[in-house]
Structure 1
Amino acid sequence: MGNVSYYTAEGLRKLKDELNQLRDIERPKASQAIAEARDKGDLSENAEYDAAKEAQGLLEMKISKMEAILANARLIDESQLDTSKVLVLSTVKLKNQGNGMEMKYTLVAESESDIKTGKISVSSPIGKGLLGKKVGEVAEIAVPNGTLKLEVLEITRE
């Protein structure tokens, strides 16, 4: 069994939509490309056919990988989450003790992370360092240029 991944309802829907797109649209396109290349004659010297077969193989690999992820995906019941400590889906207000800057991040599953919108993966170094911390605690996180000290100011669910 693979690793269990936790998703929000939105993240799980996006994953299912992407898988359906690959199965229902991309797979028939790949088959069509192979058929068209096959119709062009001698397969032993047909680079277009080889490329189409390789593209189909990569597509099938991606589909099977996504099916495995989906098989091990679990929906997070946000109403059951504890706000006394940092968990998946916690929105955390932090203060960098090195430079005094405040920042806000939401911890999400790896596939949902998007730094531009303030969503960081729970499996990232910062995410791992924050898990289980309570308000007032300082997370010391090893980063390439030293140790980052982040104080947890607030934990909420958004």
Structure 2
Amino acid sequence: MSKEIQVTREGFNKLQKELEELKGPTRLGIADAIREAKAHGDLKENAAYHEAKLNQTRLESRIADLEKALQLAKIVERPEVAGSTAALGSVVKLYDIEFDEEITVTLVGSFEADPAKNLISMSSPLGESILGRAVGDEVSVDTPGGTNRYKILGVN
């Protein structure tokens, strides 16, 4: 049996929306590009055709990944009993001790993680270090660049 994928309600909805977009307009666009490239003749040396087919392969792979993720997804809501303890779905305000700055991250499942948007996976080094911790706790995170230290300022 495959392992379940924990996601927030928002993450689940985002994955569903992406799947609908890929199966609809994106898939139609690639099919049109393939048809147009075929119309140009010889397919052996037709770069547009080969590019369109490669895009189709990537698209179908992403669709399959999303379908499997949604099938295995378990929507986890932030428990009310979590209070000021960091859990899946928590928005955590951190103070970076070394760089003297505050950052805010949201703890999410690994499939919906996007560090550029401060969506941090619970299974990442930072996510693991703050999961289950409370306001006032200090945590250390081992990274390739060394150890970073944070103080938890808030959990919502």
Matched with 2:93 is 93
1:66 aligned partner, one-letter code:
L
Matched with 1:113 is 114
Q: TM-score when scaled to structure 1?
A: 0.77
For the aligned residues, what is the CA RMSD?
A: 2.7
**Which whole-Å CA distance do the structure 1 matches of 2:148 and 2:7 have between them?**
28
Q: 1:51 to 1:155 in 2, by over 3 A?
A: closer
Matches within 5 A, 1:79-158: 79-80=79-80, 82-98=82-98, 101-110=101-110, 111-116=112-117, 118-156=118-156
Structure 2's unaligned 5+ residue stretches are none
The SS at the match of 1:78 is: coil
Tell me if structure 1 keeps the 8 A contact 2:84–2:154.
Answer: no
Q: Deviations over 1:46-74 (max 9, x none)?
A: 33322222221121111111212222222
Tell me if structure 2 keeps the 8 A contact 1:11–1:112.
Answer: no
Larger Rg: 1
Q: Deviations over 1:74-126 (max 9, x none)?
A: 2122355522532112233334444665444322234243555x443323321
Q: TM-score when scaled to structure 2?
A: 0.77
Cα offset, 1:152, TM superposition: 3.0
Q: Which moved more, 1:80-89 or 1:48-57?
A: 80-89
Q: Where does structure 1 differ by over 6 angstroms across 4 or more consecutive aligned residues?
A: none
Q: How many residues align?
A: 155
Matched with 1:22 is 22
Q: 1:76 to 1:144 in 2, by over 3 A?
A: same
Matches within 5 A, 1:13-92: 13-80=13-80, 82-92=82-92
1:34 aligned partner, one-letter code:
I
